[in-house]
């Protein structure tokens, strides 16, 4: 039986760090385990221009603990006013690594997102030309579409048409939650990749709703039925280059989660590696963990694999229930099972 596991240091290809006091509180958890992360731009107001991204990057670097070795990979929030030349210049200076498409109204702080995809065509064409990936929150926002169907409908109505209209555009389907998305990703060429979160490998929709409502399991896209979770586990543990980790760790204070209209998001940064090791071991796929967390993402983004390593030990792992922040406590995702694998400090 394996008792230690040494892997290339991982990266997180979809992370919410927020700003101010929340940023200072949550950043150490990610920087302790991950070398780099794709930083989501859904602040209020969002990170829309190169100069916004530069300022946000500097705030993140300023909030890093002493001796931390962590590189934020910045993104821009795509709006109908985004200037293709601003995007290209930000890419050329190495500032940004992706542009993020939020359908207007799809999720937390997405009001400035895109309503009419035709208005962002020039940006998408420029991105295809320079090889800059588009990260996509893949849910339609049409209130007539059932929330559990929004991802599958998005693929057919929005994603596939965008890709057909913009040949060569590199696209990341983010935080996929359905078998439909896994199947779609597998049928495409190497310009398409998909990230999978930690929590969607662990919970299905029953965990949110059966036997009482559990707000800390509510996130977007919402967890689907068990057959979809099984498809995600198969994809994540397959070793296939198109699938890699994007935790979508999305901290909200308990006060904002536990109310009549609570926020969407699971905060998984502190215990993600322990949970993933457990999941991969359950699937008899510990040998594919490094591909999922450390190798496939850099390959898609055209970056080198990290030089240093992280070691997991099968000694049992314990995490606090909450992270205290100056804005109030943030509940750490509870996988609902004991964790065997600890990250060596």
Q: Which of 11, 248 has the CB closer to Zn ion?
A: 248
According to CB under 6 A, which one of 73, 128, 250, 323 is a site residue for ligand NCD? 250
38 binds ligand NCD (CB under 6 A): no
From the list Zn ion, ligand NCD, none, which binds 264 (C-beta under 5 to 8 Å, kind-based)?
Answer: ligand NCD
Give residues 270-329 in contact with ligand NCD (rule: CB under 6 A): none
Rounded to whole angstroms, how far apart are CA atoms 97 and 302?
A: 10
220 binds ligand NCD (CB under 6 A): yes
How do beta strands 243-245 and 342-343 pair? unpaired
According to CB under 6 A, which one of 41, 138, 265, 297 is a site residue for ligand NCD? 265
Q: Annotated catalytic residue: which of 12, 189, 248, 340?
A: 248
Give residues 113-152 in contact with ligand NCD (rule: CB under 6 A): 137
Q: Which of 42, 288 has the CB closer to ligand NCD?
A: 42
72 binds ligand NCD (CB under 6 A): no
| Residue 239, number of CB atoms within 10 A of its CB | 16
From the list Zn ion, ligand NCD, none, which binds 75 (C-beta under 5 to 8 Å, kind-based)?
Answer: none
180 binds ligand NCD (CB under 6 A): no
According to CB under 6 A, which one of 108, 112, 204, 325 is a site residue for ligand NCD? 108
Residue in the shown chain whose Cβ atom is closest to Zn ion? 248
Rounded to whole angstroms, how far apart are CA atoms 16 and 333?
A: 15
264 binds ligand NCD (CB under 6 A): yes
Rounded to whole angstroms, how far apart are CA atoms 307 and 35?
A: 10
DSSP tag of 159: I
Q: Which of 241, 264 has the CB closer to Zn ion?
A: 264
42 binds ligand NCD (CB under 6 A): yes
Q: Is 324 a catalytic residue?
A: no
Min separation Cβ 213 and ligand NCD, Å: 16
Q: Which residues, 6+ apart, have CB-to-CB distance to 345 below 8 Å?
A: none
173 closest CA partner among 14, 339, 340, 336: 14
By CB under 6 A, the count of residues binding ligand NCD is 11
Rounded to whole angstroms, how far apart are CA atoms 297 and 275?
A: 19
SS (H, E, C) 21-77: HHHHHHHHHHHHHCCEEEECCCCCCCCCCHHHHHHHHHHHHHHCCCCCCCEEEEEEE
Q: Which of 23, 312 has the CB closer to Zn ion?
A: 23
Q: Which residues, 6+ apart, have CB-to-CB distance to 4 below 8 Å?
A: 311, 312, 313, 314, 344
Q: Which two tokens stand for residue 162?
A: 């965008």
Min separation Cβ 42 and ligand NCD, Å: 5
Q: Are 38 and 246 in contact (CB under 8 A)?
A: yes
Contacting residues toward ligand NCD, per CB under 6 A: 16, 42, 107-108, 137, 219-220, 248, 250, 264-265
* Positions marked active-site: 248
């Amino acid at each position: 039986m394996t008792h230690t596991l040494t892997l290339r240091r991982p990266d997180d290809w979809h992370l919410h760090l927020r700003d101010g006091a929340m940023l200072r509180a949550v950043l150490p958890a990610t920087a302790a385990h991950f070398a780099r992360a794709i930083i989501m731009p859904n602040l209020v107001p969002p990170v829309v221009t190169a100069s916004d991204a530069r300022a946000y990057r500097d705030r993140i670097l300023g909030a890093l603990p002493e001796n931390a070795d962590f590189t934020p990979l910045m993104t821009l929030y795509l709006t109908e006013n985004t200037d293709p030349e601003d995007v290209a210049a930000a890419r050329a200076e190495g500032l940004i690594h992706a542009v993020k498409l939020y359908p207007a109204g799809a999720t937390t702080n997405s009001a400035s997102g895109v309503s009419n995809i035709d208005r962002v065509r020039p940006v998408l064409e420029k991105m295809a030309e320079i090889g800059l990936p588009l990260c996509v929150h893949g849910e339609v926002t049409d209130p007539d579409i059932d929330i559990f169907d929004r991802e599958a409908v998005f693929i057919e109505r929005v994603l596939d048409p965008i890709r057909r209209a913009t040949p060569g555009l590199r696209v990341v389907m983010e935080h996929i939650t359905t078998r439909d998305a896994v199947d779609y990703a597998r049928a495409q060429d190497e310009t398409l990749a998909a990230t999978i979160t930690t929590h969607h490998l662990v919970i299905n929709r029953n965990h949110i709703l059966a036997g009482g409502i559990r707000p800390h399991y509510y996130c977007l896209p919402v967890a689907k039925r068990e057959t979809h979770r099984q498809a995600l586990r198969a994809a994540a543990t397959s070793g296939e280059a198109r699938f890699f980790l994007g935790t979508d760790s999305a901290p909200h204070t308990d006060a904002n989660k536990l109310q009549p209209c609570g926020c969407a998001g699971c905060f998984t940064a502190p215990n993600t590696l322990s949970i993933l090791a457990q999941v991969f071991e359950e699937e008899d796929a510990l040998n594919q963990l490094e591909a999922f967390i450390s190798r496939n993402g850099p390959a898609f983004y055209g970056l080198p694999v990290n030089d240093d390593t992280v070691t997991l030990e099968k000694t049992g792992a314990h995490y606090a229930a909450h992270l205290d922040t100056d804005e109030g406590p943030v509940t750490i995702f509870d996988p609902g099972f004991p964790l065997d694998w600890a990250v060596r400090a």
